[in-house]
């Protein structure tokens, strides 16, 4: 088959969608079923998508904007005709033939107040047009698949849930392996609780801080909370809470952390907490389980599906229950050992090779 893959999400540092796009990019190029693979970005061909991440020279076809729009449209309709066109990032151009689009979540429709107004307007304007063009949709989870079917009255036979994968770098590690990385951050193996999340309202970081701050003083002293993640939408108030917790001495906010250090940061944690109330998948939960770390996560959205019985589920808005679960997860050796074993078993299902193979099967169907 002939495939066109949109690579507009390949912008460092990689977001979750960027990571998904990169895994598709490098793995699909190795598939013998694909006769021709071309990369598309914002109305141009890209010859080397890896250069988008390295900051090197990106070779693109000469822009067509100097020509009349009708001429440009004719060019792209001809260029795309007969090829499968996959956008891993929500939107398809009007001229996409045999279009496949990945819909990661519907947060912009379900929680528009948690997104910039420009993004909401973009989705309102362009996403319905994408649905007119698309031959098939992909979602990261079955929960999101059902949401799309219900919200857009989309035919169930034209949408497939394909779970994401976890890099093999996320794996259990010995204390000796961890020390070189953790020491740079002033951390010790097994001596902190970790949360990796964008700082924004639906991630419920405020509830995590409120619940964690209620833990007994000896636990706070022995197992501080480490928070990794960049500033998101409507986060000014959250950063005020973060600053107060840091001053109290039991929180370390590290912001962005080098991607190469993340596997060690996961594997070194005593507990991983992810209290988000809405996700398309929840990749940090899968990465934590693959790292051999017990997990507490929200009982909402896709997170019960992704954790598949291996995590302790909480209602992040129930602060008393949240705090009780945090304390039990930190001190209970019996639960921790069982959660580690179950988590590793569940995480085995989340492989990028499986994700790409299922995606390739979808291309073949259309």
- Sketch out the chain's domains with CATH numbers: 2-165+352-365 (3.40.50.2000), 175-347 (3.40.50.2000)
Q: How far is CA 180 from the centre of its chain?
A: 27
pTM: 0.91
The residues, any chain, with a CB within 8 Å of residue 351's CB and separated by 6 or more, are 165, 166
pLDDT value, residue 15: 80
DSSP percent split of the chain into helix, strand, coil, nearest 5: 45, 15, 35
Residues 6+ apart with CB under 8 A from 22: 10, 14, 49, 53
pLDDT in tens, 270-293: 999 999 999 999 999 999 999 999
Q: Please, which pLDDT band fits residue 101 given cuts at 50, 70 and 90?
A: very high
d(CA 8, CA 152): 25
Give the residue among 105, 142, 166, 163 at the shortest CA–CA distance from 289.
Answer: 166
Q: How far is CA 46 from CA 16, 72, 360, in A?
A: 21, 17, 21
Cα dihedral across residues 154, 156, 157, 161: positive or negative: positive
Contact 33, 84 (CB under 8 A): no
Strand partners, 39: 5, 46
Cα distance between residue 67 and residue 313, in whole Å: 56
pLDDT at 349: 96
d(CA 208, CA 258) in angstroms, rounded, equals 24
DSSP state of 366: -
Does pLDDT of 71 surpass 60? yes
* pLDDT tens by residue, 288-346: 999 999 999 999 999 999 999 999 999 999 999 999 999 999 999 999 999 999 999 99
> Looking at 76-218, which runs of residues are DSSP E strands?
84-87, 99-103, 134-139, 159-161, 193-196
How far apart are alpha carbons 214 and 360 in whole angstroms? 48
Specify the pLDDT at position 76.
84
Structure-token pair, residue 309:
């019985």
Residues 6+ apart with CB under 8 A from 140: 102, 104, 105, 161, 162, 163, 164, 280, 281, 302
Q: Quick one: pLDDT band at residue 12, thresholds 50, 70, 90?
A: confident
The helix/strand/coil state of 74 is helix
Residue 3 near residue 86 (C-beta atoms within 8 A): yes
CA distance 299 to 311: 10
Work out the average pLDDT over 50-69.
Answer: 63
CA distance linking residue 274 with residue 262, whole number of Å: 15
Q: Which two tokens stand for residue 241?
A: 């809470």
Provide mean pLDDT across the span 223-246.
85
Confidence at 61, pLDDT banded by 50, 70, 90: low
Choose among 23, 15, 26: nearest CA to 48.
26
Cis peptide preceding 332, ω within 30 of 0: no
**Which residue blocks in 11-141 are alpha helix, DSSP H?**
16-28, 51-54, 69-80, 107-110, 117-133
The whole-angstrom distance between residue 216's C-alpha and the CA centroid of its chain comes to 33
């Amino acid at each position: 088959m002939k495939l066109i893959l949109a690579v507009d999400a390949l912008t460092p540092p990689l977001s979750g969608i960027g990571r998904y796009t990169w895994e598709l990019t490098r793995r699909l190029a190795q598939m013998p079923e694909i006769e021709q693979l071309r990369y598309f970005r914002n109305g141009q061909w890209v010859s080397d998508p890896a250069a988008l991440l390295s900051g090197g020279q990106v070779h693109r076809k000469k822009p067509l904007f100097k020509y009349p729009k009708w001429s440009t449209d004719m060019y792209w309709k001809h260029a795309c005709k007969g090829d499968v066109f996959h956008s891993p990032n929500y939107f398809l151009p009007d001229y996409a033939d045999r279009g496949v689009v990945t819909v990661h979540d519907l947060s912009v429709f379900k929680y528009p107040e948690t997104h910039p107004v420009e993004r909401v307007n973009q989705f309102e304007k362009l996403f319905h047009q994408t649905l007119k063009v698309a031959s098939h949709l992909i979602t990261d989870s079955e929960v999101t698949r059902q949401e799309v079917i219900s919200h857009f009255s989309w035919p169930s036979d034209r949408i497939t849930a394909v779970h994401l994968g976890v890099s093999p770098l996320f794996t259990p590690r010995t204390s000796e392996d961890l020390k070189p990385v953790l020491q740079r951050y002033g951390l010790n193996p097994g001596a902190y609780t970790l949360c990796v999340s964008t700082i924004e309202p639906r991630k419920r970081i405020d509830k995590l801080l409120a619940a964690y701050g209620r833990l007994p003083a000896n636990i706070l002293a022995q197992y501080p909370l480490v928070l990794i993640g960049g500033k998101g939408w409507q986060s000014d108030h959250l950063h005020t809470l973060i600053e107060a917790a840091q001053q109290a001495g039991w929180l370390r906010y590290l912001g962005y952390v080098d991607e190469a250090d993340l596997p060690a940061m996961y594997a070194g944690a005593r507990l991983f907490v992810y209290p988000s109330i809405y996700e398309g998948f929840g990749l940090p939960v899968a990465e934590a389980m693959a790292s051999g770390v017990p997990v507490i996560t929200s009982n909402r959205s896709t997170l019960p599906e992704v954790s598949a019985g291996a995590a302790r589920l909480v209602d992040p808005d129930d602060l008393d229950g949240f705090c009780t679960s945090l304390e039990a997860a930190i001190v209970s050796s019996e639960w921790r050992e069982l959660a580690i074993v179950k988590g590793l078993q569940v995480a085995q299902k989340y492989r990028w090779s499986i994700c790409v193979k299922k995606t390739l099967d979808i291309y073949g169907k259309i």
